[in-house]
Structures are given as C-alpha cells and as structure tokens.
Amino acid sequence: MFGNPLGLLSLLAIPAILAIHFLQRKSITLPVSTLFLLERTQREATSGRRFERLIPSVPLWMQILAVLLLAWLLSEPRFKKENSVQRVAIVVDASASMTVFKKESIAALKEMIPKLQGSATAMELTLIPSTPGEDRLYAGSSTEQLLAALEGYTPDGGLTDPSYSLRLARSIVSKDGTVIFLTDTPAEALPYDSQLVSVGRPLGNVGFTGISFAEKEGALTWQAIIRNYSDEPAKRSWSLKTKTSATEPCEFEIGAKSFVTIQAAFPEGAEEVCIELSPDDFTLDDTMPVIAPRPKALELYTATSAAFRDLTDKLLRSLASTRPSSDATSSDLAITSYDPLNPSLPNSNAILFVEDPTSAGKYLKGGILAEAHPLMDGINWQPLLVRETLQLPRKPSDRVLLWQEKRPLIFLRENGDDLILCFNFDLRLSNATQQPAFIVLLHRFAETIRSEKIAYQALNLETSQPIRIATAPGLTLNVTASDVSGENMSAPPSGRAPSLPGFLSITQGETPLLQAAIHFADTREADLSACAPTETEPLANIATLELHTTPDPFARIWVLVLLAALLIAWHFTAPKERVSIATEDRLASR
C-alpha cells in the first residue's frame, strides 16, 4: 500500500532514459593497420540524432535503478500492522420511509464495508438505529451477520434527529473509527465527523392520512382522506374487507399534490375492518384498519337549581358519550350549584357553580391571569366580565386556575380521589357562558374525568401513539396485537400503540379495557419526493491509514543506495567521454 500513489508517476522517467540511450552517433569506419587501436574504437552511447540499437551499459542500469528507488521513496510505501482493528459504526435511519429502500441499503453496505477495512487486519462492525434508546442491531466482525440484522430490521419510526445516535456511534469507534449515517434523504452536514450514505430516490406515493366517523340517519358512517404526494396525477382503487367478506374494488382518480375523500357505511356486526388501497412502493399507508369507535360513557348527575337548568341542559347535549344518572354516588361526574344558605359540597367528581341570591355588585376590576395548567393551556379569558358576588370558602390546598387581581375566579379542589372544578362567581352575573374558553374548560375537565374511569373503550389510533389506560391496582395487563392479515405481532412498548398498522387488545384479568385499530398517518414519512442518492461514497482518511500501517523501515538505506547508483553512473560516464575524445584526436593525427 502506498501513502502517496502519485509518487509512482516518477517511473515515467524510465522511458525517457531509454530514449536517450537509443539516440547515439553512428561510428565512422576507418581502416587502420595497427591492431592495438581496435581496443580504443569501440562504440559508445553518445548523443546523436539517429536511433540505434540499445547498448547495455553500467550508466543505463544505474540510472534505471535510481528512478526505481526514487519512485519507491516518493510513493511512501506503508506496511500493515499486526492485529490492527478498524472500527466502523453504522447508524441506520429508523424512519418508516426506509422500508422502501431496504434492498438498496443492503446492497450499498455490501459493496462499501470491505473498502472500509482499508489496511487494517480486522474490522469491528456496529449497527445502531437512529431512534434514541433502542438497542444495537448488531455488534461483531461479520459482514454477513450485519447484513442479516439489517434485513430483519423494520424501520417504523417518524422523523428523528440522528445526532444522539451519531454521538453514541462516535463514542463506540473513538476518534479514529468511521461513523456512517445510512438514510434515504441527503443532509447538508452531519455532526461528529460522520459520513452520509443516502440510498433513496424520488418516488410517488398515494396513501391514507386520516379517518373520521359520523352518525347519519341512524347508521355509523366513516370518511377516509387519501393524499397524493407526487407531482403527477394517479389512478387507484379501494375496497373494504372484513374477516368474512370483501367489496369489489372501486376505482378513482386523484390529482397531483391533492386530496380525495371516500366514505361508506360501517358494516353492521363487523368488529375489525380494513380499507385497502391498491398497493404502491410505500405500503404502510395503503391499509386503514378501523373499528366502530366507542369511547367511555360518563354518567352525569345534575343537582343544580332551576336557575341553572338551561345551562345544565346545554352541557348535557354538548358533552359526547354521556348519559344522565339519578344516583349521585354511582355517577362519574356531577354538575351542581353552591347555595350559601345550604353550603354542602358534593362527594364525587363535580363541576360547581356559585349561586348568589343577593343583588349583583359592581364589575370586578383588574387584570385577568390564567395559571399554567393543562386545563387552561391555549385558551383566552381576557374578554371575561364578572360582577362582585359571594365566594366559596377556599382551602389552602385548592389550585387556583384563574385570577382577577387577587380574586380567585376558578379553582380546582381535590377531595380525596375526586376533583371539583369550582366557579367562584355566579355565572348569571357574568358573560362566561358566552366565552369559548368556558366551554373548552368544561370539556377538558370532563375528558380528564373520563380518562381516569376504568371502563372499556374502542378507539382508532395512529401508529406509536401514546395510550393512557386507567387500570385497577394489583392486576397485570394482557396485551395482544395483530397485523392487518391477522398474524400476531410482538406486544408494543408500554403506553404506546404498535408501530405497524393492525389491531390491539388490552385486558386486565377478565375485564376488557381497550380495543383499538392502528393506522399509519405520518405524512412526513409518506412523502418520498425528497429522497435521493448520494453521489460519493465514504473513504478512509489519512489518519486511519497511518493508524493501521507503518512506513518502510529501510527508507534510509534506499536513499543511500540511490546516491550510490547516481555516483556509479557518473563515474562510468565521465571517463568514457575523455577516452572517446582522446581516441578521435589520435585517429585524426594519422
């Protein structure tokens, strides 16, 4: 191996030397009678304009030897060190779009890895997904096993920053190793001296992006949105399949960069349904698993006075999946009013309104401030106008959500395991019911109570979506998952939906808690128009070459041999020129 292969260009001097030795003056034949002069008239390689046969001579061989030694020294030959190891860490992009380019990824690594070993006698390989916290896919020295690990890996994540995994890879291979990021979309720059290898190419894709449900004429209907990510119009077909039947494919056209909505009635009696598109290169969004949604039902108990009856009726109509209850102890949420003449508080989750039987006071003055709390995030209370009314007796443990100057308008009280949302003013003496923030707050509070209820629910979720399930203490959860074909999948991580489309079931003991259909809806990963290959492949750097090789230990000896060859060539050339001149002068005098 040569550290400077350009040094071998000096070998071009050998043809020049041979050309010079071919050019020699033709000797003149002179008849003489004295035999002792024959020894002085031998032909010699002198300059001239005609090509004659090459005459071997000591200067010729010394000059060729000098050129060979010079080329050897200039090319900086290096020899492999024994037991040297080249460390290579490959971070593979874990985004779902990489499933399309798995064959290209394997082919690129198969061609590239042998070149990365360079001059090292051995190589250590590590394969890491770009998702933080995931285990290594492979660690060893076998290229075949690394490629097999990549073949068995299914990237299913979203758009992630590879910086964490690249830093981990750099710590594994140290500063002298090689870190490669294998992806399908070129990046401008990578940290930690990482080298980019992109194997993608622009592709068109048509797929599902979302689904919604509605009740129409007493029947459950669904609406699915289909998107075309390419710059060209496309023709596709869709069909609906259950475990026992399937519809005929229905063709449709979709324009470039546009959306299409399809809809139909949900099959009666069916539990697990799949809406399928005619397949393309990216298959994750070609199937939409769905089930009939069934959120947890809230039991509502109302105990307000007649003054709040209209408001209570509106709340019952606006809150989804609720049904009235006549038992306060068994209800999930109570809507009640606080009468100062009968200051009793509910013993359950409740929404509490102050009822002031006295005359209204002046409007409160001062700035309105909402505290940082999930119930208050992103809603505007500034248009709220409130008159001075009676107040609830507040405890030090109450969490105030909304202030006007020093007056607490809304606060949250914890009563054991129950939550009470207290409106510390009379709603009738304010414009609160006309504010969107009021309705949003009530819905958020009701959903908070719903999420804490231990009950069955059926949901349509996205892949890898966080799942929060209320469970009873002391019992383990049983989680089962299957893909769209009905084959069992490995259980997803705790608190998340599976990363691939399919169906999910969670039970606790004999109690079913969740039945879910999982669909892919990551539009960033479904858009393959920005994918492209890289034009160059990673190359070993000079520092790696110096790490695994040693320079020629006889370099100084070759320098001395070079000088000796030059001196010998000069020695045999100079005397012959003088002898040749003396011989010509002697012949001329005769």
Structure confidence by residue, pLDDT tens digits, 360-407:
678 898 999 999 999 999 999 999 999 988 888 888 999 999 999 989
Tokens of 386: 């409130």
Q: What pLDDT is attached to residue 577?
A: 46
Residue 39 has pLDDT above 80, yes or no: no
Confidence band for 415, pLDDT divided at 50, 70 and 90:
confident
> Tens of pLDDT along 172-194?
998 888 999 999 999 888 899 89
Rounded distance between C-alpha atoms, residue 471 and residue 476, angstroms:
9
pTM: 0.74
Q: At what angle do helices 58-74 and 13-22 cross, to 10 degrees?
A: 170
Q: Which residues of 118-137 are buried (b: 16+ CB within 10 A; e: fewer)?
A: bbbeebbbbbbbbbeeeeeb
Confidence band for 579, pLDDT divided at 50, 70 and 90:
very low
Confidence band for 285, pLDDT divided at 50, 70 and 90:
very high
Q: What pLDDT is attached to residue 336?
A: 87
Q: At what angle do helices 436-451 and 309-318 cross, to 10 degrees?
A: 60
Residue 197 has pLDDT above 50, yes or no: yes
Residue 554 CB burial class (10 angstroms; 0-12, 13-18, ≥19) = exposed
Cβ-Cβ contacts under 8 Å for 438 (sequence gap 6 or more): 432
CATH superfamily placement of domain 298-447: Class I glutamine amidotransferase (GATase) domain (3.40.50.880)
Confidence band for 50, pLDDT divided at 50, 70 and 90:
low
Specify which of 169-173, 547-551, 574-578 reaches the highest per-range mean pLDDT.
169-173
Q: At what angle do helices 58-74 and 555-589 cross, to 10 degrees?
A: 150
> What number is the average pLDDT over the span 301-320?
80
Residue 45 has pLDDT above 50, yes or no: no
Q: What pLDDT is attached to residue 92?
A: 96
CATH of domain 206-294: 2.60.40.3230
Confidence band for 168, pLDDT divided at 50, 70 and 90:
very high
Residue 578 has pLDDT above 50, yes or no: no
Closest-CA residue to 234 (of 280, 274, 202): 280
Mean confidence (pLDDT) of the chain: 85
> What is the sign of the dihedral through the CA atoms of 464, 468, 472 and 474?
positive
Cβ-Cβ contacts under 8 Å for 562 (sequence gap 6 or more): 66, 69, 70, 73
